[in-house]
Amino acid sequence: MTRRQPGTQGARTEGARPGEGTSDAGTARPELAAGPDETTWQHVLDLIERADEVALACHVSPDGDALGSMLAVGATLRAMGKHVVASFGDREFAVPRLLGFLPGQDLLVPPAAFPAEPDLMITFDSSTLDRLGLLAANASKAREVVVIDHHRSNAGFGTVSLIDPSAAATAVLAEELIYRLGGSLDRDIATGLYAGLATDTGSFRHSSTTPAVHEMAARLVATGLKTDEIARELWDRSPFGYLKVLAAALERAQLEEGLVWTYVSHADRAAYGLPYDEVEGMIDVVRRADEAEVAVVLKQDDLGAWQVSTRSKGAVDVGAICTALGGGGHHNAAGYTSHEDVEQTMARFRELLRMG
């Protein structure tokens, strides 16, 4: 495929103003104000060029964007002759079943095998240092930390930031980095990027799905991806126990003044041997209630904490609420961790929701 020239921003026009963008006729694409500038991109390329080993990390309980972007960049770096290790900082280190199809997992090592003081560490889709879990300590001791992310709440915890809140997914920035490194797309690399793009746009349903998103998807599909198989892995498979746990969560769902919410306890999952990652998508069922502007699902993890997923239909900035509660995310999709019980957790959320 044809390599885009650095600076043309071919995959990063999300949120573009009228008149921006390009066409098949060859119209030049104006530079966007959002996102990393050329000096920052060059700095990152220089760091990678000088590094013999590159340590990659994504956020805990990785989703398709975090793990897919990391593995895609990892494959590119390995093809350049770099020694690459990749990981995420969960105490129970295991790739979520839904992402088991992603290529490049031979790059993964458990947190204990991750370099303690990396010369160069690159993080993916992690909006805060805490989201790196066990690997936060490694990042704190790294000589250089490149943060690649698209969350507006990311203040840049590393030494170099490749952050673009207008990007639909971290995969958008990952693709740009791959091109700038002189790499190209094969089917394995494209699979990781497509998983990231598809999951973070809600299977191309969210408002972040711009013409540029579809253009990027077209580049990825052109490598020979079987999009139906990827979609089946991401959205159309669940163990039977998921149906029983979902039924229990829906039975206890509550609707109150534009808010619909429910919770899934550790005991709910344990009754059917259901891993935590299997209930991540329940928010997308609950959020369908017509009467609610905001949806919340509390999911108790294996350590007893509540992982809170929130969604908005546009009128409420749940990203701001979650940031105030120690988490982060986007205007319409965000989350945080609560160590209080269900009642206290929801009371705090309702208070900020009323204030907003």
Say if domain 38-233 classifies as CATH 3.90.1640.10: yes
Please list the ranges in the chain whose pLDDT falls under 50.
1-33
Round to whole Å and give the CA distance between 41 and 48. 11
| Spatial contact of 212 and 10, defined as CB atoms under 8 Å apart | yes
Round to whole Å and give the CA distance between 266 and 300. 5
pTM summary value: 0.85
> pLDDT value at position 34?
57
Paired tokens of 119: 């010369």
Residues 6+ apart with CB under 8 A from 92: 302
Q: Where in the chain is the domain with CATH 3.90.1640.10?
A: 38-233
Write the single-letter amino acid at 67: L
> pLDDT value at position 4?
40
pLDDT tens for residues 34-68?
Answer: 579 999 999 999 999 999 999 999 999 999 999 99
Strand, helix or coil at 273?
Answer: coil
Residue whose structure tokens are 């280190």: 93
Residue whose structure tokens are 């990063």: 12
| Region of residue 336 (phi > 0: left; psi between -120 and 50: alpha; otherwise: beta) | beta
> pLDDT value at position 28?
30
pLDDT tens for residues 118-153?
Answer: 999 999 999 999 999 999 999 999 999 999 999 988
Cite the DSSP H helix spans in the chain: 38-50, 64-79, 136-141, 170-180, 187-200, 211-221, 227-235, 240-251, 266-270, 283-286, 318-324, 342-355
pLDDT tens for residues 204-233?
Answer: 998 899 999 999 999 999 999 999 999 999
> pLDDT value at position 5?
37
> pLDDT value at position 27?
26
Round to whole Å and give the CA distance between 269 and 338. 18
> pLDDT value at position 328?
86
Q: Domain 241-355 adopts which CATH fold?
A: Diaminopimelate Epimerase; Chain A, domain 1 (3.10.310)
Q: Where in the chain is the domain with CATH 3.10.310.30?
A: 241-355
